[in-house]
Amino acid sequence: MEIIPLAQDELEVLHLCDGEGKNQIEAGVCMGVSRGTVQRLLASARCKVAQALVGKKALAISGSI
């Protein structure tokens, strides 16, 4: 089975925006990054999750918590 790596910061931004309903500015404040960085991470994370679901691939969370 193919594994798609999901970075810790991508997981965190997914949790903040999609899980907790924060907007990108609020998520950026929580993470200590710019809104642009949040936007980039969120787009990347959502793409990886979609690829995993549609392609029946595994997600592996990389990095420390």
Domains contained in the chain, CATH given: 3-62 (1.10.10)
CB atoms within 10 A of CB 4: 14
Whether the full predicted model's pTM is greater than 0.85, yes or no, is yes
The whole-angstrom separation of Cα 65 and Cα 47 is 21
* pLDDT tens by residue, 6-56: 999 999 999 999 999 999 999 999 999 999 999 999 999 999 999 999 999
